[in-house]
Amino acid sequence: MIPPTEPFDKMLEHLLHILPVALGIAIPIALLGALVLYVLRKGSLATTLTVLVLIPVVTVVIVMLGVFQFMFSSALTTMLAVCLIVVLITVPMAVLFGRLIARRSVWEREARERERAAEASRRELVAWISHDLRTPLAGIRAMAEALADGVVSQPREVASYAHQIGGQTRRLSGMVDDLFELSRITAGALRLTMSAVPLQDVVSDALASQTPVAQRKRVHLTAQAQAWPVVLGSDPELARVVRNLVSNAIRHTPPDGTVAVAVGVDGADAVIAVDDACGGIPPGEIDRVFDVAYRGSAARSPNQGDQPAGGGLGLAIAKGLVEAHRGKIAAANHGPGCRFEVRLPLAAV
């Protein structure tokens, strides 16, 4: 028995009747929604997702109202109620997921930027270190060949060459130590033995090690303290922080200039300030002075006498060590030069 086709024909006829009306309403609304999304293209992701959810729902509601010609019936009322429930559920979810996706997108973008910055720093570090290694190695090789070939035979000249080889060897050894220390910091492998450390001992030892360097360059090295606080930290690492800061200040201070170290207490922090006479740091560079292998402009990093330009690692190491002590380090132009300030938590009395 063949089922009747009349109900199907009527349904098809009804669909063909409402299709132009539905398309005539839906297409302009979809285009309007696309325009709204274009206007909001620079807005938040949560807003965009909310609009994306609302566009089809609003389209369905308006199409239904147009098809039913605003003749409210039980079927239309039911469909409108269903659309309202869909909106009440999907819009909050769209806002929530939009915020989560936006937060993840920001985190991923920041992670990529950090990775690119780290890769750029590594490339710059390799370039600087390769250059700095070649220079003393070439000098050592030339002087060693001169000694081996007998070109230098006078005892005074032999002693001078030996002294220069020793100096270049110490420079290379210092660079290797800096690289090892920096690798421990960046890899998170730095392990500190914390104890109560008097800053008077730390600063005194650091200044004693740098005094001969300052004297050779005719730089005045001074120290003053409002108080000598005790901090919780590791003595060797804190001494290295002060030594790196003082060495950097001496390197960039011209002859007859002054490097001043001041120690004091500010609230719950011990403060160590190192002032130099470098002439100031350009505003575009002041935020990069603690970057790995960053040495600044050539005007601030000249090779003066026997004090070669640094490897660009001292300030990066100081920053890593200070942060490992839960402290803070900052640089700012101050007076005739710039000031590097270290803040460390005081030890519990």
What string of DSSP letters covers 143-195? HHHHHHTTS--SHHHHHHHHHHHHHHHHHHHHHHHHHHHHHHHHTT------E
What CATH number does the domain containing 264 carry?
A: 3.30.565.10
Q: Say whether both 200 and 158 belong to one domain.
A: no
Do both 204 and 327 map to the same domain?
yes
- Cβ atoms of residues 60 and 76 within 8 Å: no
Residues 179 and 198 in one domain: no
Closest to 308 measured CA to CA, from 268, 264, 262, 252: 252
Examine the domain organization and report whether 134 and 217 are in the same domain.
no
pLDDT tens digits, 291-334: 776 666 544 444 444 444 455 678 888 898 999 899 999 999 98
The last residue of one of the domains, among 50, 75, 106, is: 106
Co-location of 216 and 337 in the same domain = yes
Q: Do residue 249 and residue 339 come from a single domain?
A: yes
Is 223 a member of any domain?
yes
Residues 318 and 215 in one domain: yes
Note the residue count of the chain. 349
Half-sphere exposure of 25 (CA within 13 A, CB side): 18
Which of residues 98 and 174 earns the better pLDDT score?
174
CB 252 within 8 A of CB 329: no
- On the 0-12 / 13-18 / 19+ scale of CB atoms within 10 A, 279 is middle
Residue 158 has pLDDT above 60, yes or no: yes
Question: Considering the domain boundaries, does residue 264 fall inside one?
Answer: yes
| pLDDT of the residue at 340 | 94
Kindly state whether residues 199 and 288 are assigned to the same domain: yes
Q: Which amino acid is at 231?
A: V
Structural domain that includes position 244: 193-345
Which domain-ending residue is among 135, 157, 185? 185
What's the mean pLDDT in 181-207?
A: 83
Per residue in 32-68, pLDDT (tens digit) is 877 877 777 777 766 777 777 777 777 777 777 776 6
Does 229 map to a domain? yes
Q: Please state, in angstroms and rounded to a whole number, the distance separating the CA atoms of residues 189 and 180.
A: 11
Query: Are 266 and 335 within one domain?
Result: yes
Sheet holding 258-266, edge to edge: 220-225, 258-266, 269-275, 337-345, 328-334
Averaged pLDDT score across all residues of the chain: 79
Total structural domains within the chain: 3
> Is residue 96 pLDDT above 70, yes or no?
yes
- Dist. CA 265–CA 146, nearest whole Å: 55
pLDDT at 226 over 80: yes
